[in-house]
Structure 1
Amino acid sequence: MTLASKALPAILVVEDEPLIRMEAVDMIEDAGFKVYDAASADAAILMMEQYDDIGILFTDIDMPGSMDGIKLATYVRDRWPPVAIVIASGKIDYDRMLAPLDSTFFPKPYPTGQIVKTLKDIASRLT
């Protein structure tokens, strides 16, 4: 069975900048995934509670609200362990030690081809 014939997990994009969020959503939808989006970690947690088809969290680090993307990723890993985590940021001083184990990191601006390949690789392991 090929990846195309399997049901792909939905991806939750969490990004506070509307234009960057729209670009990420478009990129991921163009790759064939169902996408939900949120502008904050708080909204993302509500979506995780509402939609059980989310298999991948794709989050920025710097966001307003009660937690940043690293804390959100840690929360999601603790509450929904099977969800894969992809973190993206323009921060130069990103510290892998703070991110949950087995998370994937991409710098901004997004390397579109690499991100799509990684998401498809993750999806093939999840489905």
Structure 2
Amino acid sequence: MGQKIEPSRIALIVEDDFEVRGLAAALLEETDLRVVETASAEEALDYLRSHAEDVAFLFADVRLPCLMNGVDLARTVRLKWPWVRTVLTSGLSPEDELRDVPRDVRFMPKPWRALEVLIEAERAVQAPRPH
């Protein structure tokens, strides 16, 4: 029997709705990424400050509690950690909230399709690691 190799790269989920976050986590646990869950942009940034080199995929809601929303988080991540593949999601109309989203950030409306999330995660796994 072979040993299961633990994934070394991380999918960081940022979602304040516990059930939606759990659904995304269950889906992403089927990939070659280890899943880390946070409920706010501030929590996600705290995590990234010490683990960014291992984070390959950021999946974040646009509307988040506290001071930063998902768009602010995406802009910060693209500036500081450009290798992190970033996907934003929202149940609201994209025109309302996405004016300032960086061009290389993908938007997925809610309810998102599992296959689309898995494809984005796979692209993150295939991307080169930071030096």
TM-score with structure 1 length normalisation? 0.86
Q: Which residue in the other structure is 1:15 paired with?
A: 15
Q: Within 5 Å, give how 1:83-102 maps onto structure 2.
A: 83-94=84-95, 96-102=98-104
Gaps of 5+ in 2: none
Sequence identity of aligned pairs in percent?
29
CA distance in 1, matches of 2:126, 2:8: 8
Residue identity opposite 1:59 in structure 2: A
Whose Rg is larger?
A: 2
* Alpha carbons 2:33, 2:125 under 8 Å: kept: no
- TM-aligned CA deviation for residue 26 of structure 1: 0.7
Aligned partners of 1:35 and 1:17: how far apart in 2?
16
Instruction: Report how many residues are paired.
Output: 122
Distance 1:23 1:81 in 2: 26
Structure 2 residue 106 is matched with structure 1 residue 104: yes
Q: 1:98 to 1:92 in 2, by over 3 A?
A: same
State the secondary structure of the residue aligned to 1:115: helix
Cα RMSD (Å): 1.9
* Unpaired stretches in structure 1, ≥5 consecutive residues: none
| 1:110 shift after superposition | 1.7
TM-score normalised by structure 2 residue count: 0.84
The whole-number CA distance in structure 1 between the counterparts of 2:27 and 2:105 is: 20
Please tell me the residue identity of whatever aligns with 1:35. V
